[in-house]
Amino acid sequence: MAEIKKLPLGAVVAEALTVLQRIKALLELPELKQTLVTVHGVLTDTRQLVNKVDGQVEALGPKLAGTAEIASKALETLRVTLLDAQKLVRDVDSQVAPLAGGAKETLTSAKETLTAARSALGTLTDAATPMLKQADRTLTGTTALMGSDSAVLNDLSRTLRSLDEAARAIRTLANALERNPEMLIRGRSK
């Protein structure tokens, strides 16, 4: 009991609060927000494009549906990963007092989650590459049907560029987290 009274609980709680503030700062990073905005835009563009192409080029429907399904699965994996990260932050925030006693366990759990997120992001990137190649082949086929100045063709090209940009942004985030997994806890270095 005497040993418990000697523990610097105030310092531990202060450190826990600092960790939570750094996690909050990380979640407010413009890069993370931009990645979410880009992913949302890509998802919206993809859905709009699929609706347009389905109505205009019925013969290409099965090919585009397969490509859209792959993109949807990849984006769903990303969404689930981001929801897991948000849940982790909420869990940490709601357990400041237990965090003081179990900070090491929480950090271990965060590292495992980051490892899983990196793996999921790698899978997403790997899944996106064949999808983009298939979309390129599909685009080549539709060019012959619709002409090079078609609005549908221009929308598809813009969407593919957005998907490529989102995949690069995700890879950059995964690499940054791999180089410095404590970035979620400590924030960006100055």
CATH 1.20.120 assigned to domain 10-180? The reply is yes
Residue of higher predicted confidence among 88 and 143? 88
Contact 130, 167 (CB under 8 A): no
Question: Helix, strand or coil for residue 150?
Answer: coil
Model pLDDT for residues 152-189, shown as the tens digit of each residue: 778 888 999 999 999 999 899 888 888 888 877 777 66
Structure tokens of 93? Answer: 């925030």
Q: Which residue has the tokens 């948000």?
A: 86
Tell me the pLDDT tens digit for each residue of 26-71. 778 888 778 878 888 888 888 887 777 666 656 555 665 677 788 7
